[in-house]
Amino acid sequence: MKKLVFLFLLIIISLISCDGRKNKGEALKLSVEKFKDTLEPIEITKYIPEVYSEIETDSILSNGFSIHLKTYANMNESVSKKYKVDTITHIDIHRDWISEVKIKKDNVLIFNEIIDKDFFIKHAKNIDKNLSESINTRIWIDEETSIEKDYINLFAGYTYPNNNESVIFKLKVDNQGHYLIEKLNSERTI
C-alpha cells in the first residue's frame, strides 16, 4: 500500500511539473530572434576594385604583330550583387573594366578599338542579350596561336556576378585589321 501511495504521488508530481514551459535551448533561440529584430539594419558595401586600377602590356611577336593592351577600371559602370548573412546585408559592387587594344602589323596600325560590353553588343552576332549584367574580367592574347602568320587571337572574359557564370569570346584579327568575334563558352564558376 505504501508503494502504491508513493507511486500515485510520483505520478501527480510529474504531471504538475509539466507546465509547458520552454526548455533552455528554445528560450535561447527565442531571445536571439528578439535581439536580431531590435537591431538596426546593417549594410556593408564593398567596391571591387576599391580604387582606380590600370594595367598596360606591350607584346611584340615574331610574326610581325605588336599588341598594346591598356586595361583600366571603369569607375562609372558597375554590376551590384546583394546578399544577406545573418542580419547583415552585403552589397558587392563589381566595377567594369575597359580595354584599349592597338594592334600593329609590321609597324602599321591595323586595329585600334576600345573593347567593352558595348563593343561586343554592337559587333557580335548571337551575343547574350543580358551581357550588360556582366563585367569584363580581362583581355589576353591567345598564346597558342600567337605565332600564326596572318592573324592574332585575343580572348575576352566576362563574368556575371549575380549567378557566378562566365563567358569567353575570341576576337580574331587578321593582318588587314578585319576581325571576327566568336563566343567560345559559358560556364559556371565558383
Is the residue at 123 inside a domain? yes
Is the residue at 20 inside a domain? no
Is the residue at 27 inside a domain? no
Q: Residue 190's pLDDT is what?
A: 43
- What is the average pLDDT value for the chain, to the nearest integer? 84
Does residue 187 have a pLDDT over 60? no
The span from the CA of 43 to the CA of 90, in Å, is 6
Q: DSSP secondary structure string, the chain? A: -HHHHHHHHHHHHHHHH------HHHHHHHHHHHHHHHSPPEEEEEEESSS--EEEEEEE-TTSEEEEEEEEEEEEEEEEEEEEETTEEEEEEEEEEEEEEEEEETTEEEEEEEESHHHHHHH-SS--GGGGGSEEEEEEE-SSSTT-SSEEEEEEEEEETTTTEEEEEEEEEETTS-EEEEEEEEEE--
Reported as a pLDDT band with limits 50, 70 and 90, residue 129 is low
**Share of residues in the chain with pLDDT > 90 (%):** 38
Q: Cα angle at 187 between 129 and 131, to 5 degrees? A: 20
The separation between CA 148 and the C-alpha centre of its own chain, rounded to angstroms, equals: 33
Q: Is the distance from CB of 171 to CB of 179 less than 8 angstroms?
A: yes
Q: Residue 20's pLDDT is what?
A: 61
Give the domain extent around 114: 42-188
Phi, psi dihedral angles at 65 (to 5 degrees) = -85, 145
The span from the CA of 37 to the CA of 22, in Å, is 20
- Please count the structural domains in the chain: 1
Is the residue at 14 inside a domain? no
Is the residue at 31 inside a domain? no
Reported as a pLDDT band with limits 50, 70 and 90, residue 21 is low
Once rounded to an integer, what is the mean pLDDT over residues 27-34? 81
Does residue 152 have a pLDDT over 70? yes
Is the residue at 162 inside a domain? yes
pLDDT by residue (tens digit) across 98-128? 999 999 999 999 999 999 988 888 887 666 6
Is the residue at 8 inside a domain? no
The span from the CA of 102 to the CA of 58, in Å, is 10
The span from the CA of 22 to the CA of 35, in Å, is 18
What CATH number has the domain bearing residue 85?
Answer: 2.40.128.510
Q: Residue 36's pLDDT is what?
A: 73
